[in-house]
Structure 1
Amino acid sequence: INSAGVGYFGMHEDIDFEKIERIIDLNLKAPILLSKLFLKALKKNRGYIFNISSISAIKPAIFGAAYGASKAGLRHFGKSLFSEARKSGLKVININPDITKTPFFENLNFSYTDDSESYIEPLEIAKIVEDILNLREGTVITDITVEPQKFKILKKSCKNPQ
């Protein structure tokens, strides 16, 4: 499961080169290289690769251009890898959650609200993974988007500003 991620948000011209490199390295480069490292064994065992991407892979990421590009790249990688390796039995699944109640937002200037209908719980993503693992052999969900019922974002002051 490729689920590590980092994001820095703001006007693209205001984000340091080092932060952009970190976004690309962790969100895109690491999953591509890790997948390559384990690909032969995963194909042999008809395994799974889960890419936990982001809603930003699908929708424009305002104030998160590099983040959105990294997640869109991860999603495209997953779709391409599945097409390339599907005959081996390898399953590649992209999960694109919207705002999820995790520590990801601790040092950002926005977060989820207290309204339980405005965020995704991490256990809900885990349940989706479990449900996919329990599908009949030969059936693959390759791409799934998970959104809360309500769209609400809490704006806050940033602990570690850009």
Structure 2
Amino acid sequence: MMITPEYCLTMARYNAWQNKQLKAAFQALGDKELGKDRKAFFGSILATANHVLWGDRLWLSRFTGVPAPAGAIAESTGLTDSGAQWAVERFRTDGALIQWAERLRAVELSGPLSWHSVILGREISKPKALCVLHLFNHQTHHRGQIHAMLTAAGAEAPVSDLAFMPEEGPWL
């Protein structure tokens, strides 16, 4: 499996662009609507957004050695209490992901990545490149759920097509 640092930087910027748009949609919707149970996998828009934030921090910890977020998947949905708090934490994490991608070298995408899986209760080892692909795929998957929930709530969902991402920043 071959991915490049350029791919990672593009996807880190795409992630930040998407989250910047979600911040505006969240502000327009308000915290009551963000917290409403919409019968999605993680329940609400905010819970799903929190899970993605938690997952990004978890994978970033595995790639860089920074501390992992507290809790397990079950607690991931309560990472922040409001859209405004989510926006602050999301901005910080998106900045860290972009900085990681900007410094990434091709050799860092090769070889295995090993960690202890709480879900499986054992050590796991997978190709680093696969884990990086998973990080970006996980973001996109759950943002699709958020997009659907925003649309169902009558909010204006953001443009999500990678081909329409601005060529120049600011990404955050």
Q: TM-score, normalised by structure 2?
A: 0.31
Q: From the two aligned structures, give the one with the greater helix fraction.
A: 2
Greater strand share, 1 or 2? Answer: 1
